[in-house]
Structure 1
Amino acid sequence: MQSTTVVMEDASFPYRLGSDCADEIVARLGELDASGYFVISDTTVAGLYGHDLTARIHKEAGPAVLLTHEEGEPHKGLATVSTLAEQALEHGADRRAIIVALGGGVTGNIAGLLASLLFRGTRLVHVPTTVVAMLDSVLSLKQAVNATYGKNLVGTFYQPVEVLADTAMLRTLPPREMRSGMGEVVKNALAIRPSMLDRMANVLEPSARYDDETLRWAIAESLAAKAAVTHADKRERGAGLVLEYGHTAGHAIEHASHGRVAHGAGVVVGMAIAAEVSRRLGHADAEFVAQHGELASAGGIPPTVPAHVDVARVKTWLSYDNKRGYLDSPQGHTPMVLLAGPGRVLHTGSLPLVPVPLALLEEVVDATAE
């Protein structure tokens, strides 16, 4: 496994990335000398990797227990965290225990919040199994779950002791999840690292079939992109807010779909909406808007709000975006990350946010619906 140190202000942790490296993952966990390992996964990942990994940890590293939760965004809430906490304590979790988050972004956030709360903080190791998790969610200190009024509204900041990623675990991903992950790579390229765009346009596959080399490249480039904006902003409240590009409408679409739209797919559509908003406000040109559509289609994601998603619900969730409060926005406006072109982020003062009239945003959402 190749190791990179992720640094965000005074927080740092190793990120180890490899292919077919399960032996090294178990060995690294053993070196952490835990009193017990509590592997958290959803029921699907448990069947694919959870039972085997837990058994290997138990045999080679120390006492290990697999705890599962139901799959999907509807189960990413405080009730799930509470249930898992009770189960971990029932199985003897103490202050020297390690929470192993085995799964995608949903599991990573659930397990991350659990680790931050047990004994007011016990150790957390991410073993991500999706592209989105490998190149996005595990690179953040944000640990949050959903509330009735939107995504990721209840949480805290908590760092892992390390990340252990194996691209072999991506081979069982359905195309939907692979496309979702590559959508986040496109976001990093457009918003932060435009040097990626030429290769990105060439490697994107509507079929969502990618080899290990391409995936390691995409993950490494995304690591560099995220580091560029979070090294001095670990809470992602300043420069790091640019990582929210596409998320205002993207989160609303994802939430309104009740989980039928994957996170990265929602972000891809959200970026197309943000680009059109920027054009209508006079910041971006039509070519930039078209570039969003071309990249989305190359990655197998139509840049439109799917027909099965209630557009009225999408517009309702726009008002509950998690970037509210960063700007003193006029009434009837919401803050958004907007670009004037690749890597050209618009700012209000020092913040990479622009107040956007909700009426305009809603018009663009309507125009983007299938």
Structure 2
Amino acid sequence: MKVEIRLGTVRYPFRLGTDCLGTIVEDLVDLSASRLLIVCDSNTGPLFGAELVERLSPRVPANLLIHRAGEPYKDLQAVGTLAESALRLGADRACVVVAVGGGVIGNIAGLMAALLFRGIRLVHIPTSLIAMSDSVLSLKQAVNASAGKNLIGTFYPPECVLADAAMLRSLPFRETVSGLCEVVKNSLAVRPSMVEMLRASLRRDGNYDNETMYRIISESILAKASVTIDDMHECRAGLVLEYGHTVGHAIEYTAAGEISHGQAIGLGMLVAAEVSRRLGHLDDETVALHRELLARAGAAVTVPAHVDLDEVMHRLRFDNKRGYLSDLAESSAMVLLRGLGEPLWHDGRPLVPVPMKLIGEVIGELARPELPGLGLSRSTGAEKVPDAVGATDG
């Protein structure tokens, strides 16, 4: 499969195959780079990076740069350390940075490529489902700050994406579930036609054949491309891809690596769905569908007890969508739905201000499922909150 990813004026090829490492090597050699900088983490380095360098080295200079795995190490220090290593190895403007890994390494290597010599070529070889189906379909390259996730970065396009679905066989269950949570997000927020396919395909045990995984990735590519084609910076229609991310990022950051990105986004979607229901925009059936699809994917649907909810609420104040809306006060900007694939719009964006008090109540109930509230019918006694966001349909 070869598709052209179109993000505004930017175009780049996405090649997806199975057991195609040989073809990936040929594609990398064809770039005529002065040096290939293969950037991996401590997991993907031994799994894929070392073999890539071994195959490439007889034909083109290639070096393996390894960074410690994990979201807590996705910061400017990582970018600086890798860039200094690359320069010591003789990196120049004709080098190519090759990001081999999931979303974390993709972001670190992407920002490194954007900064070295004010921009050198970048290639993504995604090795996780979340990277293949979501993160490499974007120009966003960002790392975390002490205040929150993805607050330091830029927009930078890759030369190409080279994906081998066989690499997904090495994924632990946690990372498979993480990627599927983002796939569920694409279905609920952007491409409802995926719902029945996911109902039939999702497995709680995380075991998928090549054909099913190929179909899931292909559908996610189509979903994401449909809202970014005219919004390369994802600040208008593309903001719908932030569904679940406002609360999800806060949970992920607070959990300090103990909850995967996709799982945190899944919890964020459950909060967003219930918030929308209480504001009178979303019906009970659609809220229940959120829980159903996430559960079918093997994801948890409650916030773990060890997550500090006060810290989650604090992190909401540093969400990377701050500044898009001017009337936040004691509110936070969230993507909300009024139906499958139908976001609420406010001031020209699919983003609405939601009272922090309401968000806190819903997060609290998600952490204490024995209480009446999230995902249950209105007959449980959950009080409907007056609509205070001034959102519009469309």
Task: Using structure 2 for the length normalisation, give the TM-score.
Answer: 0.92
Counterpart pick for 2:125 among 124, 127, 138? 127
Instruction: Please identify the structure whose Cα radius of gyration is greater.
Output: 2
Instruction: Report the Cα distance in structure 2 between the residues aligned to 1:42 and 1:9, rounded to whole angstroms.
Output: 31
Give the aligned partner of residue 98 of structure 2.
100
Instruction: Report the Cα distance in structure 2 between the residues aligned to 1:228 and 1:97, rounded to whole angstroms.
Output: 32
Instruction: Report the Cα distance in structure 2 between the residues aligned to 1:281 and 1:300, rounded to whole angstroms.
Output: 29
Give the aligned partner of residue 37 of structure 1.
36
Q: What SS does the corresponding residue of 2:58 show, helix, strand or coil?
A: helix
Superposed CA deviations along residues 109-167 of structure 1, whole A, max 9, x for unmatched, are: 00000000000000000000000000111111000000001000000000000000001
Give the aligned partner of residue 21 of structure 1.
20
Counterpart pick for 1:226 among 215, 220, 224? 224
Q: What SS does the corresponding residue of 1:139 show, helix, strand or coil?
A: coil
Instruction: Report the Cα distance in structure 1 between the residues aligned to 2:327 and 2:57, rounded to whole angstroms.
Output: 53
Give the aligned partner of residue 258 of structure 2.
260
Q: How do 1:247-286 and structure 2 match up within 5 A?
A: 247-286=245-284
Give the aligned partner of residue 365 of structure 1.
363
Instruction: Report the Cα distance in structure 2 between the residues aligned to 1:216 and 1:111, rounded to whole angstroms.
Output: 25
Structure 2 unaligned segments of length 5 or more: list them.
369-394
Paired AA for residue 36 in structure 1: R
Give the aligned partner of residue 319 of structure 1.
317
Q: What SS does the corresponding residue of 1:171 show, helix, strand or coil?
A: helix
Superposed CA deviations along residues 234-256 of structure 1, whole A, max 9, x for unmatched, are: 00000000000000111111101
Give the aligned partner of residue 164 of structure 1.
162
Give the aligned partner of residue 388 of structure 2.
none
Counterparts in 2 of 1:119 and 1:293: CA distance versus 1, 3 Å: same
Instruction: Report the Cα distance in structure 2 between the residues aligned to 1:292 and 1:304, rounded to whole angstroms.
Output: 13
Q: Judge which range, 146-155 or 326-335, deviates more.
A: 326-335
Paired AA for residue 331 in structure 1: A
Q: How do 1:115-194 and structure 2 match up within 5 A?
A: 115-194=113-192
Instruction: Report the Cα distance in structure 1 between the residues aligned to 2:327 and 2:166, rounded to whole angstroms.
Output: 45
Asked if the contact 2:126/2:132 (under 8 Å) is kept, the reply is yes
Give the aligned partner of residue 70 of structure 2.
72
Query: How far did 1:65 drift?
Result: 0.2
Counterpart pick for 1:89 among 50, 69, 87? 87
Paired AA for residue 301 in structure 2: P
Superposed CA deviations along residues 77-131 of structure 1, whole A, max 9, x for unmatched, are: 0001000010000001000000000000000000000000000000000000000
Equivalent residue pairs, number: 368
Instruction: Report the Cα distance in structure 1 between the residues aligned to 2:58 and 2:168, rounded to whole angstroms.
Output: 25
Q: What SS does the corresponding residue of 2:332 show, helix, strand or coil?
A: strand
Superposed CA deviations along residues 35-57 of structure 1, whole A, max 9, x for unmatched, are: 00000000111111111111111
Give the aligned partner of residue 58 of structure 1.
57
Instruction: Report the Cα distance in structure 2 between the residues aligned to 1:239 and 1:155, rounded to whole angstroms.
Output: 20
Q: How do 1:192-211 and structure 2 match up within 5 A?
A: 192-211=190-209
Query: How far did 1:320 drift?
Result: 1.1
Asked if the contact 1:103/1:128 (under 8 Å) is kept, the reply is yes
Query: How far did 1:341 drift?
Result: 1.5
Instruction: Report the Cα distance in structure 2 between the residues aligned to 1:233 and 1:215, rounded to whole angstroms.
Output: 27
Query: How far did 1:59 drift?
Result: 2.3
Superposed CA deviations along residues 308-345 of structure 1, whole A, max 9, x for unmatched, are: 21222111111111111101123101110000121111
Superposed CA deviations along residues 184-221 of structure 1, whole A, max 9, x for unmatched, are: 11000000000000011111111111111111111111
Instruction: Report the Cα distance in structure 1 between the residues aligned to 2:303 and 2:323, rounded to whole angstroms.
Output: 26
For the aligned residue pairs, the C-alpha RMSD in angstroms reads 0.8
Q: What SS does the corresponding residue of 2:149 show, helix, strand or coil?
A: strand
Q: What SS does the corresponding residue of 1:155 show, helix, strand or coil?
A: strand
Q: Judge which range, 188-197 or 327-336, deviates more.
A: 327-336
Asked if the contact 1:191/1:339 (under 8 Å) is kept, the reply is yes
Give the aligned partner of residue 379 of structure 2.
none
Asked if the contact 1:347/1:354 (under 8 Å) is kept, the reply is yes
Paired AA for residue 175 in structure 1: F
Asked if the contact 1:184/1:264 (under 8 Å) is kept, the reply is yes
Structure 1 unaligned segments of length 5 or more: list them.
none
Asked if the contact 2:39/2:64 (under 8 Å) is kept, the reply is yes
Give the aligned partner of residue 109 of structure 1.
107
Counterpart pick for 2:235 among 237, 252, 255? 237
Asked if the contact 1:329/1:335 (under 8 Å) is kept, the reply is no
Q: What SS does the corresponding residue of 1:153 show, helix, strand or coil?
A: strand
Paired AA for residue 107 in structure 1: I
Query: How far did 1:74 drift?
Result: 1.0
Check if 1:10 corresponds to 2:40. no
Query: How far did 1:7 drift?
Result: 0.7
Identity of aligned residues (%): 53
Asked if the contact 2:325/2:347 (under 8 Å) is kept, the reply is no
Paired AA for residue 5 in structure 2: V
Give the aligned partner of residue 296 of structure 2.
298
Q: What SS does the corresponding residue of 1:96 show, helix, strand or coil?
A: coil
Instruction: Report the Cα distance in structure 2 between the residues aligned to 1:19 and 1:329, rounded to whole angstroms.
Output: 48
Instruction: Report the Cα distance in structure 1 between the residues aligned to 2:162 and 2:345, rounded to whole angstroms.
Output: 35
Paired AA for residue 320 in structure 1: F
Paired AA for residue 122 in structure 1: I
Query: How far did 1:349 drift?
Result: 3.1
